[in-house]
Structure 1
């Protein structure tokens, strides 16, 4: 009886998300502005986006002001980052609503080399310097908050070396410190390689290190091929955790794009070294404003957990929205809310 109920619930869940996707598709189409269209008057979306950035920025400026005589005279960029909401349905995990926040809060008065940051959802990925998967966080239960401070040493050429310290706000709190080295090199027109190495200590894992290697080729003006790879080892892992993918980005024009991806992930010392492998497609389009993006996600993986006797097909469907924000200051500290920057994907 339980199996029949679970099967029925899964069917209802898929039907619900697919119905939601059918509702979102016309919304995406309606959101596409024709070339040369007149600017849209500020409305609820603008007030929400500007208010969200302003609230975060005021918090960082209050803290920054405690260490400076002129609290509101710093010019330049204020709070900036991204807020993402995704609803995903995946077999064997069910429906999950994922909210992810990545916010950078400059502390210019204290030091132009120091910044605060806030994160929510996928916080373990932040500590481990792991890029987010297009189909969601590697740990669906990781929905914690993270706060911390970042510092760029004066001898760090092109800000290649950064230091971080912070805590994941769960019980008990999970404190961490991290040193990161980042290097990017273009070895031919349209061909780049990016390397990142992190050494960290985290209360729940003790010492560990992670490595990222990303190759990118621009095949045509509308096609980019990428191979992002990530690996981690720590005192809490039995072997080497890894995540390796191949992504093809296709620009469709008018702020629309498709991502075709294949990948695999696992742990070399687990009973099942390859936890899952599969393929997925993500459709992304800007909606109403340059800083608001909608997405539709579909895919399938072959999943096998430790203890399972065989590998099982696991389908994935979902919808999502992403809001980029940035607060700007002028020389007198007033807010230039209409100067918004859309961070690239």
Structure 2
């Protein structure tokens, strides 16, 4: 598969060109959307934009109709409000989507979105992202990204992409699950990545989940990232109890710890947080509340400080 260089450079700009999406004109007498209808209208608008963009990009590669295998998957828009005593209040918007393009091979897909640059490149597990750990991030750390992925096998895929400032990166990702005993499950993830700044790097993640009943489970997750440039391991670990209350409502209590080898501090931060998730509208709009208490020490010269943090989130899948 070949793609002209000029077209590839335009990928991160497609979202700007696509908004707002082309929609049919409404009758002057049509009532304005109110209440839950506002959520449905917003979701329809986001999805129509994504599908219009997918059709436009797919047309670059051939004349095969988009309906013949084209689709939008894994689409989500996430709004978060974070307040942390030592870092203030912050609002963030993230989105991601994955497109299947009929005029490209069936195993190839387009991906794009807006997210934390570092977490995107290193393929940080969701539980260890800054928003899930109730840590603020500078707006400059979030950027648009776009690229092409190739599913080589069921558990292996490759990605070539561009992130903020047209900076290239590449990934090779592998994941595998194994049952342990009668009820346990172990999952292993390995991501090899390359950037101009880091050169080669890797993120290794290992998780274990053990259900005690149909509604209660124990989960342990650890991950570590190293790059050719830094030579130091950035690591995190999370141990928690997860309770399912039915109707897609879920609560958890988690203990979290993270650090950086060679930083002079064995543990940069440790703490406890509680999380509650539930649907807000239908099955595709969910809300989340996180409350945490953390003890942070960023470097050897600083004293460990205890802080409270609160996070409010809303996720829309499309």
Calculate the TM-score normalised by the size of structure 2. 0.82
Instruction: Give the counterpart of 1:294 among 287, 307, 310.
Output: 287
Alignment of structure 1 residues 25-40 onto 2, 5 Å: none
Instruction: Give the counterpart of 1:196 among 171, 180, 189.
Output: 189
Separation of aligned partners in 2, 1:160 and 1:240? 25
Say which SS state the counterpart of residue 43 (structure 1) adopts.
helix
Do 1:53 and 1:79's aligned partners in 2 also have CA atoms closer than 8 Å?
Answer: no
Do 1:98 and 1:121's aligned partners in 2 also have CA atoms closer than 8 Å?
Answer: no
| 1:304–1:89 distance in 2 versus 1, CA, 3 Å | same
**Deviations, residues 4-48 of structure 1 (Å, cap 9, x unaligned):** xxxxxxxxxxxxxxxxxxxxxxxxxxxxxxxxxxxxx97111111
Say which SS state the counterpart of residue 121 (structure 1) adopts.
strand
Say which SS state the counterpart of residue 92 (structure 1) adopts.
coil
**Deviations, residues 114-138 of structure 1 (Å, cap 9, x unaligned):** 1111132223212212112376166
Map of 2:144 onto structure 1: 145
Separation of aligned partners in 1, 2:114 and 2:168? 15
Map of 1:102 onto structure 2: 96
Q: Is 1:210–2:207 an aligned residue pair? A: no
| 1:76–1:147 distance in 2 versus 1, CA, 3 Å | closer
Separation of aligned partners in 2, 1:318 and 1:218? 27
Alignment of structure 1 residues 274-313 onto 2, 5 Å: 274-306=267-299, 308-313=301-306
Say which SS state the counterpart of residue 72 (structure 1) adopts.
coil
Do 1:193 and 1:214's aligned partners in 2 also have CA atoms closer than 8 Å?
Answer: yes
Say which SS state the counterpart of residue 144 (structure 1) adopts.
strand
Separation of aligned partners in 2, 1:184 and 1:262? 24
Map of 2:13 onto structure 1: none
Separation of aligned partners in 1, 2:286 and 2:240? 19
Map of 2:251 onto structure 1: 258
- Alpha-carbon shift at residue 207 of structure 1 (Å): 1.1
Instruction: Give the counterpart of 1:54 among 42, 48, 53.
Output: 48
Separation of aligned partners in 2, 1:62 and 1:264? 45
Alignment of structure 1 residues 1-345 onto 2, 5 Å: 43-75=37-69, 77-133=71-127, 136=131, 140-141=137-138, 142-153=141-152, 156=153, 159-170=154-165, 173-306=166-299, 308-325=301-318
Q: How many correspondences in the alignment? A: 280
Runs of 4+ with deviation above 3 angstroms: none
Separation of aligned partners in 1, 2:281 and 2:67? 33
Say which SS state the counterpart of residue 274 (structure 1) adopts.
coil
Separation of aligned partners in 1, 2:79 and 2:36? 22
Separation of aligned partners in 2, 1:189 and 1:42? 43
**Stretch moving more, 242-251 or 120-129:** 120-129
Separation of aligned partners in 1, 2:65 and 2:296? 53
Do 1:304 and 1:310's aligned partners in 2 also have CA atoms closer than 8 Å?
Answer: yes
Do 1:284 and 1:294's aligned partners in 2 also have CA atoms closer than 8 Å?
Answer: yes
Gaps of 5+ in 1: 1-40, 326-345
Separation of aligned partners in 2, 1:297 and 1:139? 14
**Deviations, residues 58-110 of structure 1 (Å, cap 9, x unaligned):** 11122112223222331464243221111011122111112221211112321
Do 2:64 and 2:102's aligned partners in 1 also have CA atoms closer than 8 Å?
Answer: no
